[in-house]
């Protein structure tokens, strides 16, 4: 079972629990997104199927955004496909590049839906560790490549660790993919969520790399668009036909009303998300201050992106047992680290994006009190 509904069931069994579990934002879409729905409603033809890969106004808006913000210039070597969220883009990519029995390299900590998707398409997830700061280790990654490897997956800013991968490391991984003729799939769902001057880098901007680079984006986080299910992928031209066949079979086309709303959201632009970041920054500072009190029992590597911490708890306890105790006895929920491939100790993912500042502060306080009582230094 996916871990989010499992923890959600535990939360329902203990009313009053504050959830620091699910990775969503506390705000909704910009007004421009809502206003743009009138353009959908004004044309009765919009109630019919539309283009498999996205409506023209949204493709145009995405093209301009990629050029302006990611330094990704669309040309005859690459294509854009609008998807029903970032997860669908990832599944599209897997089905297009891999056959049953092939290997996909995931970097631990990984996004659990990625690992589940690899398993569902009958491929094998090869798990490669990051370093003690959750940063990439190119030499270790390259040593894991075999003749069955089809792709290396990176996520930056990272879910679940909050790490922002350094540009030189992402460039190194992309070069490895070129040398070994495998794909570099880079998930950029959290591209705007950065702190302490951290810089986001899109591997899709590297010149001459279009043939082996797949970039995944999502509106779910930045625009408060989680339920609208709109993401997009930038992929090599030679994969376009395969992805269209896949998406047409599974989806036919992304929800057209959501695509119109997405056009409005993108007109609001990155500024809409960036206006919210001061709240995330304040909550993040509160959390880090609280965590100082338990440094002897908890290590939190630098987390300059997304809205997560991946804490290593200095205990031999089973992480799921610890999660259950925190919910039952202290009214706070987090996600166990083994869900993200962290099996060499007790890890907890703490998410601080979904709730208002006061509630998150209370939740972090409960977490710290619980860990102090449960885990002995």
Query: What order do you get walking across the sheet with 298-299 strand by strand?
Result: 298-299, 308-313, 346-351, 335-336
Here the tokens at position 131 are 């370093």
Task: Please tell me the predicted confidence (pLDDT) of residue 355.
Answer: 85
The mean per-residue pLDDT over the stretch 86-91 comes to 98
Strand, helix or coil for residue 299: strand
Mean pLDDT, rounded, for 108-132: 97
In this structure, what is the dihedral angle of CA atoms 177, 71, 134, 116, given to the nearest 10 degrees? Answer: -60
- Other Cβ atoms within 10 Å of 194 Cβ, number: 19
Average pLDDT over residues 269-294: 94
Residue with tokens 């591997």: 203
What's the whole-number average pLDDT of the chain?
96
Average pLDDT, stretch 177-186?
98
Given this model, what pLDDT does residue 3 score? 83
Q: Determine the average pLDDT of the residues in 301-310.
A: 96
**Mean pLDDT score, 267-273:** 95
Q: How far apart (Å, rounded) are the C-alpha atoms in residues 90 and 103?
A: 15
* pLDDT tens by residue, 333-372: 999 999 999 999 999 999 999 888 899 999 999 999 999 9
Check residue 5 and give its pLDDT. 87
Residue 120 pLDDT > 90, yes or no? Answer: yes
Segment 64-77 mean pLDDT: 97
- Average pLDDT in the 164-189 region? 98
CATH topology of domain 31-268: 3.40.640
Reply yes or no on whether the pLDDT at 377 is more than 60.
no
List CB contacts of 19: < 8 A, sequence separation 6 or more. Answer: 7, 8, 11, 332, 333, 354, 355, 363
Q: What is the 3-state secondary structure (H, E, C) of 323-339?
A: HHHHHHHHCEECEEHHH
pLDDT number for residue 344 = 93
Residue 67 has pLDDT above 90, yes or no: yes
pLDDT at site 74: 96
pLDDT at 219 over 80: yes
* Predicted local confidence at residue 88, as pLDDT: 98
Q: Provide the residue ranges of all domains of the chain, joining segments of one domain with +.
A: 3-28+271-374, 31-268
The CATH number for 3-28+271-374, chosen from 3.30.420.40, 3.40.630.10, 3.90.550.10, 3.90.1150.10, is 3.90.1150.10
């Amino acid at each position: 079972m996916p871990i989010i509904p499992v923890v959600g069931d535990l939360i329902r069994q203990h009313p009053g629990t504050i959830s620091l579990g699910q990775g969503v934002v506390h705000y909704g879409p910009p007004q421009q997104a809502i206003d743009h729905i009138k353009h959908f409603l004004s044309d009765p033809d919009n109630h019919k199927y539309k283009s498999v890969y996205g409506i023209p106004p949204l493709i145009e808006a995405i093209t301009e955004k990629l050029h302006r913000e990611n330094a990704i210039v669309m040309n005859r070597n690459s294509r854009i496909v609008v998807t029903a969220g970032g997860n669908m883009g990832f599944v599209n990519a897997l089905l297009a590049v891999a056959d049953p029995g092939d290997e996909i390299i995931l970097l631990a900590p990984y996004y659990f839906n990625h690992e589940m998707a690899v398993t569902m398409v009958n491929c094998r997830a090869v798990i490669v560790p990051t370093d003690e700061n959750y940063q990439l280790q190119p030499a270790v990654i390259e040593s894991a490549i075999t003749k069955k490897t089809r792709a290396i997956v990176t996520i930056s800013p990272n879910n679940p660790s909050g790490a922002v991968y350094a540009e030189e490391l992402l460039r190194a991984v992309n070069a490895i993919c070129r040398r070994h003729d495998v794909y570099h799939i880079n998930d950029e769902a959290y591209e705007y969520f950065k702190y302490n001057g951290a810089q986001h880098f899109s591997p899709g901007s590297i010149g001459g790399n279009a043939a082996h680079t797949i970039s995944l984006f999502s509106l779910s986080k930045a625009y408060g668009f989680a339920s609208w299910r709109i993401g997009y992928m930038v992929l090599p031209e030679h994969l376009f036909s395969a992805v269209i066949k896949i998406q047409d079979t599974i989806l036919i086309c992304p929800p057209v009303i959501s695509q119109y709303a997405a056009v409005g959201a993108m007109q609001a632009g990155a500024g809409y998300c960036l206006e919210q970041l001061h709240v995330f920054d304040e909550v993040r500072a509160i959390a880090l201050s609280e965590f100082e009190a338990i440094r002897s029992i908890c290590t939190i590597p630098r987390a300059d992106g997304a809205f997560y911490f991946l804490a290593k708890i200095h205990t031999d306890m089973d992480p799921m047992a610890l999660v259950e105790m925190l919910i039952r006895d202290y009214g706070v929920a987090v996600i166990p680290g083994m869900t993200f491939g962290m099996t060499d100790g007790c890890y907890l993912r703490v998410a601080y994006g979904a709730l208002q500042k006061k509630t998150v502060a209370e939740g972090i306080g409960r977490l710290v009190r619980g860990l102090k009582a449960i885990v002995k230094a």
